[in-house]
Chain A
Amino acid sequence: MLIKTEGGYDMDTAYIPPRKRNRLAFLKRDWQLYLMLVLPVAMTIIFKYAAYPGLRLAFMDFKPALGFESSKWVGMEIFQKIIKDRDFLRAIKNSLVFNFLDLAIGLPVPIILAILLNELRFKKFKRVSQTILYLPHFLSWVIVASIAYSLFKPDSGLVNVVMKSAGWIEKGIPFLTEKWHWAATYLLVGVWQGMGWGSILYLAAITGISAELYEAATVDGANRLRRIWHVTLPGIRPTIVTLLIINLGRILGSNFERLDSFANVNVKDFQYQLAIYIYDKGLASGNFSRATAVGLFQSLVGFLLVITADRVAKRLGSDGLI
């Protein structure tokens, strides 16, 4: 606001226009939060966006000694080669199938577990169970796989040895050495490793549900199952949808550490997934262009899936993610 003075117009120093005041106000109010945000944003910029120029690799016949400047630009040639590669198609198929199965089994189990834990009334037992269930998450895949092999080897694995000596089986079950058995073991071990940790978010969401809703349901005569069905599950629906969308973005991704730790020559038909493909045919062969091209392809598909899932979720009445 300008105030007329003897010398002309002067700024009213006591007055701050509403917009400016607001901006300063929220920065001033939440400065600690913004300060904390600086680091993750900086990390994202440096490690995600700053790496974008490196995507040129996917369109070049990159030779380390020649560098970006002198390596030959080949356009879409690398992608054409990859699409024609039978190993790539096998890797895509396996990645899709296994990630879908991981999602189909891995999504409901933590929800069920969270509900079960929430229903426990004996606090101490609940705490101990939670701690035990979280533990596998902190074990690396190398250790998990090593334990799995010690347990499930066909001849010398503990499980087979016990079952054989009990007379239940004559020949060891090839849990990890026959591809179909391997698939089941691989998926179930994955669920075992992740379910405890996965249940934390759902437990937190359940805690947020108003106790009044449960009381009202009880007054209306709802038993425990009814209360879970009509109160708990709708209460955590936004969390489920959010996690589903996030997980859909990873449907083409694969965890190299997990796959490599569970690898053996008998199960390559199923174990050969994109992460292995990128490592074998890209990094281990010094073919960085191919590794980048497949990585880019993976990211694009993941991005499209996230967008699609978000739209679908919104259409179905949920909040979505974006």
Chain B
Amino acid sequence: MKKMTRAIIAILVIALISASAIGCAGNQAPAPAQTQAPAPAAEKTAAPAAAAEKTEAPAPAAPRVKIRVPVYDRSKEGYPAVDDNYWTKYIQTEFGDPNNIDVEYVPIPRNDVMATYSVLISGKQSPTIMMEYDYPKVAQWANDGAMQVIDLNAFKAAAPTYYQAMVDNSQLGYTDINGKTYFVLSERPYYNTTFTYASFIRLDWIEQLGLSMPKNYAEYTNLVDKIIEAKLTDIAPLGLGLPSSAYAQNYYFRNQPVDETEWAIHSSLGTASLPWEATKKMLKRLNTEYSKGWYSREFELDSASTGGSDQMQTDFINGKSLQYGSYMSASVNWLTAFYENNPGAKLAVLSSEVSVEPGVVDQIKIRADNPFGMIVGFSSQADAAQLEASWKLMEWMIQEDSLFALENGVEGVTYVLDANGLPVTDNEYRGPEMLNHNNNIDMTCLVHASKKVGTIEQTIAAISPQGLPQDFTQELIDNYYYLKKLADDGRAYSDPVFAVAIEAESEYTATLLSLWQEYYVALVKADPSQFEALYADYSSKYLDAGYQEVIDERLEAYKAGSTTKLPK
């Protein structure tokens, strides 16, 4: 018995040691091809040609090139792995194999992009293509030497269609940082209108109170106050969330035209502009609304980090709140759930005009997105062959046929063609050919930021929620034209893009976001009589905590001409 026990212990220990040894060995396995010392590209491509000249013997096969392409991993339940699915295999078969290229997808957790990239870069494992939607992030990578300088003429030769799209979209002004060319840019269709987002309001409640759709802030205020008075809901009628990013939605509250210097230093998604007058006006309005009981007393706790889910959405689905909004697609789960839970309820698309209040918001102004989608750069560890292979992939993907297949899938399986010959995708399909998040957008983002289907009306029809008792297509189209008018009137503009890295921004972003969340909640919840004093105190602390350094650096860059300008 004793011997047996000894033997078992020995076997277990040996097994553990072997397992860990194998584990360690696994970690030290040869790195993927591109991390090995790159052979000069000229040698690689010249060799076969030289061989062909000398003899009649068949040319040796060109070495297979491996590229690694990042893909966002959004951890969506019910979806296949982002780096190994029908469509990654499709790209390999349709593009990779014919071109002698191995395309490997590298999952990048969507909520942890920078940290993941930092680890990959440190471990000399960075993907061949490095891309992000935020300019300061890619600027930082370029500045730190993680990306390589590229020759736009060589890119034009390798990917003429892609290059032409950049020319057509006026993107050539965004390719440089510190005077050197690092980036190419994907398209963002209809970037200056936010038509894919819609906010819905309870039309049945409005009718029940004998009111009409509010057209300005006075009418809107009257409506919300009446809803509270009539006790149409037993909770606060509106939802408010804790800001999860530094995005201060103060566009309505800015002067028109906005002062260009103020815009250059404050208008940013990277840091919230707490000390700016426009942000103050926005917070002041929220404070007043909160004090009237419009929002939950514990709204800051209703986020995933404090054990809650999207409470605002849940409340709306349960028929307890007045409005809710999100990005549109053919299948919007919360809208479907809303109608199931509230038979007979009616909704309407709410216009931004309800925010107009003379002296506070004289006109609606909106944030136009950047005139580009992904800012695409290339790892400094990639060799010339990999660079060229990446460009080939981009050129292949931007072709109509490739893009159509990647965004719609297989005919008769994931989509059918309607009477106009336009694809209608089946978002419920869960077979192997199913498309990943938002029609494979995390793959096709390499060429554009959203799917385009024919005209704008047809595009909107494709993203108008289907299978509901109400059809919102026309309202969404009207909303688009309303937003387009704003853009045509110069009331939709993007944030400035800096051609130099703002170092203070990387240094203080995390601290400032944390303070922004803290002060935002405190100011919204403050006693209205103490708002002014509290705002002054927080603004000064915020400036001291690093914001002053950030805006000083931005101002310097602006004065040096290293930023984009407001459209004239």
Contacts and interface: CB of A to CB of B under 8 A. Distances in A.
Interface of A: 32, 35-36, 38-39, 42-43, 46, 63-67, 87, 145-150, 153-156, 176-177, 260, 263-266, 268, 280-281, 283-288
B37 to A, nearest CB: 15
B417 interface: no
A242 B115 CA distance: 38
B298 A280 contact: no
A145 B114 CA distance: 27
Nearest to B243: A265
Interface string B23-63: 01000000000000000000000000000000000000000
Interface string B7-23: 00110010011001000
Given A32-B10, A36-B13, A154-B297, A286 B514 contact: no
Contact of A149 (B114, B301, B521): B301
Given A64-B146, A280-B514, A150 B301 contact: no
A264 B300 contact: yes
Interface of B: 6, 9-10, 13, 16-17, 20, 24, 114-115, 118-119, 121-122, 124, 126, 140-141, 144-146, 242, 296-298, 300-301, 305-308, 380, 506-507, 509-511, 514, 517-518, 520-522
Given A177-B298, A266-B300, A280-B514, A285 B144 contact: no
21 contacts: A32-B6, A35-B13, A36-B9, A39-B17, A42-B17, A63-B144, A63-B145, A64-B146, A65-B146, A65-B380, A145-B307, A148-B307, A149-B301, A153-B301, A154-B297, A264-B300, A265-B520, A280-B511, A285-B506, A285-B510, A286-B118
A152 B514 CA distance: 23
B68 to A, nearest CB: 16
Contacts of B300: 264-266
A279 to B, nearest CB: 9
State the main secondary structure of chain B at its contact with A.
helix
B9 A155 contact: no
A155 B115 contact: no
B510 A263 contact: no
Contacts of A149: 301, 306-308
B380 A42 contact: no
Contact of B510 (A42, A43, A64, A281): A281
Nearest 5 A/B pairs, CB to CB: A65-B146, A146-B307, A64-B121, A64-B122, A149-B307
Given A38-B17, A39-B17, A265-B300, A64 B144 contact: yes
By CB atoms of chain A within 10 A, which of B9, B118, B140, B522 has the most?
B118
Given A268-B514, A285-B506, A285-B507, A39 B301 contact: no
A65 B510 contact: no
Given A32-B13, A65-B146, 5 more contacts: A36-B9, A42-B20, A65-B144, A266-B518, A285-B509
Nearest to A34: B13
Contacts of B520: 265
Given A39-B16, A66-B144, A265-B517, A288 B301 contact: no
A270 B386 CA distance: 50
State the main secondary structure of chain A at its contact with B.
helix
Contacts of A177: 298, 301
A40 to B, nearest CB: 10
B518 A268 contact: yes
B264 to A, nearest CB: 23
A264 B306 contact: yes
Contacts of A42: 17, 20
Contacts of B511: 87, 280-281
A276 to B, nearest CB: 9
A284 B118 contact: no
A264 B122 contact: no
Contacts of B517: 265
A284 B510 contact: yes
A266 B124 CA distance: 41
By CB atoms of chain A within 10 A, which of B124, B307, B380, B507 has the most?
B307
Given A42-B20, A155-B296, A150 B307 contact: yes
Contacts of B16: 39
Nearest to B12: A36
A38 B18 CA distance: 12
By CB atoms of chain B within 10 A, which of A42, A64, A176, A281 has the most?
A64
A176 B307 CA distance: 12
A155 B507 CA distance: 37
A36 B119 CA distance: 34
A149 B300 CA distance: 12
Nearest to A145: B307
A280 B305 CA distance: 15
B20 A39 contact: yes
Given A36-B9, A67-B122, A149-B307, A155 B298 contact: yes
A39 B124 CA distance: 29
B510 A38 contact: no
A176 B146 CA distance: 43
Contacts of B121: 64-65
A286 B380 contact: no
B9 A265 contact: no
Nearest to B19: A39
Given A63-B145, A281-B511, A286-B115, A153 B13 contact: no
